[in-house]
Amino acid sequence: MIVILLASLIMVLLACLMAWILGWANRAFHVEVDPRVSAVLDALPGANCGACGYVGCGEYAEAAASGEAPPDLCPVGGDSCAQAVAEILGIEVGQKLPFRPVVHCGATYDKRLIHSEYRGEPSCRSANLVGGVQACTYGCLGFGDCERSCPFDAIHVIDGLARVDYEKCTGCGACARVCPRNIIHMIPFKSERVMVVACSNHDPGKYVRQVCKVGCIGCGMCARKSDLFRVEDNLAHIDYDQYDPESMDEAQLALEKCPMNGILYIGEPGPEELEQTDGEDVGEPVRDEFQTTVDDTEWHG
């Protein structure tokens, strides 16, 4: 009996000792956590996509709370999120344009002039390593690496060409990061729809004509019609710093005069633009029903 009582007493003393040690360790090793970090974390959408440049929302929340990162780095959360983060941190958020992905290729299957059969792994990364899947070595491969990378189901391969659904797209940039052909670029959307050059081919025009019906041949017609355009290394570019959606007359002329129809609008025309154009052709929005060709084992792209 005495042995049992003694053992119980020792256990109680040990428990008290351990509790005291834990209490002491808790006080001695306590790390002060800025309560704003969890508040910022709550304000973020929690996509953990890395589009802010940090590993995840948690790391960005810490960086924002410490003043290392601005409050408006989360493209998924957009303006309202930036505003909420700025309010938590007691700072102002500057005006920022939304950046959205543009696929610089306009060649669907029927626009590509030379195809060869590809029976390898149906991914753009793999197909890009194999020469001759399609004669244009700059264009969209259409196996949908971008589609699979998108956390928001906002980019789909249709008729062999990746197309963005700008209603769903948050501008996280995941698609641009995975495209092995580097043909998806993030550009500032200064209006609901934006004019783009839908080509990435830098070959001389005579070779472009051999492989694609809509590729840029670098003829310079657009640059002669509008200062917004310049041709570099056989390919037309638009200067988005100078892009002014309120002043597009010359750019519209460039679009109309392009002999390859390689300049187009993407996104949706806004109500004001529809009113201004009053029924004229405002360029076809790049949006279609979801379909995929990625599951095809035989590829004709």
Residues in the annotated binding site for [4Fe-4S] cluster: 49, 52, 57, 74, 136, 140, 146, 150, 169, 172, 175, 179
Q: Judging by DSSP bridges, how do beta strands 161-164 and 184-188 pair with one another?
A: unpaired
Task: Choose the stretch contacting ligand SF4; rule: CB under 6 A; options: 175-183, 216-224, 236-244, 251-259.
Answer: 175-183
When asked if residue 145 is in the footprint of ligand SF4 (CB under 6 A), the reply is yes
Total of chain residues touching ligand SF4, rule CB under 6 A: 30
Cα distance between residue 236 and residue 217, in whole Å: 8
Cβ burial 105-135 (10 Å sphere, 16+ → b, else e): bbbbeebbbebeebeeebbbebbbeeeebbe
When asked if residue 169 is in the footprint of ligand SF4 (CB under 6 A), the reply is yes
* E-only strand ranges, the chain: 99-103, 155-158, 161-164, 184-188, 193-197, 229-232, 235-238, 263-267
When asked if residue 198 is in the footprint of ligand SF4 (CB under 6 A), the reply is no
Burial class (CB in 10 A: 0-12, 13-18, 19+), 281: exposed
Sole binder of ligand SF4 in the list 52, 86, 179, 228 (CB under 6 A): 179
Task: Return the DSSP state at 27.
Answer: H
Whichever of 171 and 269 has its CB closer to ligand SF4, that residue is 171
190: which 2 tokens? 């200064």
Sole binder of ligand SF4 in the list 77, 173, 262, 267 (CB under 6 A): 173
Task: Choose the stretch contacting ligand SF4; rule: CB under 6 A; options: 2-10, 148-156, 188-196, 239-247.
Answer: 148-156
Contact flags string 90-119 toward ligand SF4, x per CB under 6 A: -----------x-x----------------
Task: Return the DSSP state at 194.
Answer: E
When asked if residue 299 is in the footprint of ligand SF4 (CB under 6 A), the reply is no
Sole binder of ligand SF4 in the list 142, 269, 283, 301 (CB under 6 A): 142
Q: Which residue in 195, 204, 164 sits closest to 288, CA to CA?
A: 164
Residues near ligand SF4 (CB under 6 A): 101, 103, 124, 140-146, 149-150, 152, 154-155, 157, 162, 164, 169-175, 178-179, 181, 183-184
